[in-house]
Amino acid sequence: MKKTTTRLADGRELIYYDSRDDAVRDEPDRRPAAPVSTASAIRRDPLLGDAVVIASHRQDRTYHPPADDCPLCPSRPGATPEGPDGDGLNGGGPNGGGPNGVPGGGRLSEIPAHDYDVVVFENRFPSLAGGNGRCEVVCFTPDHDASFADLTDGQAALVLEAWTDRTAELSQLPGVEQVYCFENRGAEVGVTLGHPHGQIYAYPFVTPRTERMLASLAAHRERTGRNLFDDVLDRERADGSRVVLEGDHWTAFVPYAAHWPYEVHLYPHRRVPDLLALDDAARAEFPGVYLEILRRFDRIFGEGEPPTPYISGWHQAPLRAAGRADFGLHLELFTIRRTSGKLKFLAGSESGMNVFINDVPPEAAAERLRKVASK
């Protein structure tokens, strides 16, 4: 893997991750250096203690641009800073082209290169900014019409390397307490850019969900003397009814008390706190396991169905919180589609009181995910 770090015209950092060591990344950002204005603040809910991020500048973020104006596609040779409408701020079309792929018709995108493997850059419309953490965009592939499930094992391995490297770098930033690498896929879960990409949030606090996990870890340790992550994995592997896929180094299962209709947790067999601590064997096996799970997600509801919307994210140990040594790195993947043509909307009990009601028994979900395995 070769890493090349550069800057966009407005000063934001952009990083290329290439599978080839001889890749050269010297394309400059030829767009005008438009100012980036952010206004991010963190407030605490006095009753719950939860952190809430106020980010009013995100009201103006790019919203469902046409495919020929995607800011995450590569820039096309011959494209001009002005572009069709003269502002030069957003992006080019598929592979940087204009409407119907006309060479040079598209605007220059967020990515100056004419092709790339994996790219990470600072979000132009970050939720966390101004000393309150950092938000980055991860482009998995230059192919606008692909998805993560379409990647090869080698491409997925490169994304894993990028996630790991960014976790290491962001963990060193002043004030950062937790790093979360995640992907939202599908307009149904709020995705505003169709190009296959994810995000990384470097939080300046421990997230409420993780705080609850840490509390459960501590209580379980006090009560049993054992580690809760270890016990959960051991129970699922021994029971087997909710196991979706098991390798030599990873097990994917539907959790016993799944919140969502189809939800899968992926655990390494050797507990580690974060991506940096994964060993070579687990890294080597991950792409095949994860890609198979994503491909099964797209087959859950049968042939002819649109791609399954999902949220997938790495839960890593906070950097300095008590209980870090007990925390277990794991990936959580779920969809809000509950059956063909129907979404699960959060009702009053769920939105108002955070008490989830799941229409699909976890054992039935696991059985369905086993049935749609690749042949």
Helix (H, G, I), strand (E, B) or coil at 290: helix
- The separation between CA 213 and the C-alpha centre of its own chain, rounded to angstroms, equals 20
**Distance from C-alpha of 73 to C-alpha of 155, rounded to nearest angstrom:** 17
Contact 92, 76 (CB under 8 A): yes
Burial class (CB in 10 A: 0-12, 13-18, 19+), 52: exposed
DSSP state of 61: S
Whole-angstrom distance between the N-terminal and C-terminal Cα of the chain?
31
Number of H helices, E strands in the chain: 6, 15
User: If you compute the radius of gyration of the chain from its CA atoms, what whole number of angstroms results?
Assistant: 21
- Alpha helices (H) in the chain, listed in sequence order: 153-170, 208-224, 228-239, 280-297, 348-353, 362-371
| Closest residue by Cα to residue 3 from 16, 20, 22 | 16
Residues 6+ apart with CB under 8 A from 344: 260, 261, 336, 337, 338, 359
**Distance from C-alpha of 290 to C-alpha of 287, rounded to nearest angstrom:** 5
DSSP state of 76: P
| Closest residue by Cα to residue 107 from 95, 123, 119 | 95
Tell me phi and psi for residue 289, to 5 degrees: -70, -50
How many angstroms separate the Cα of 74 from the Cα of each of 4, 105, 116? 16, 13, 7
Burial class (CB in 10 A: 0-12, 13-18, 19+), 341: exposed
Return the active site residues.
197
Contact 84, 90 (CB under 8 A): no
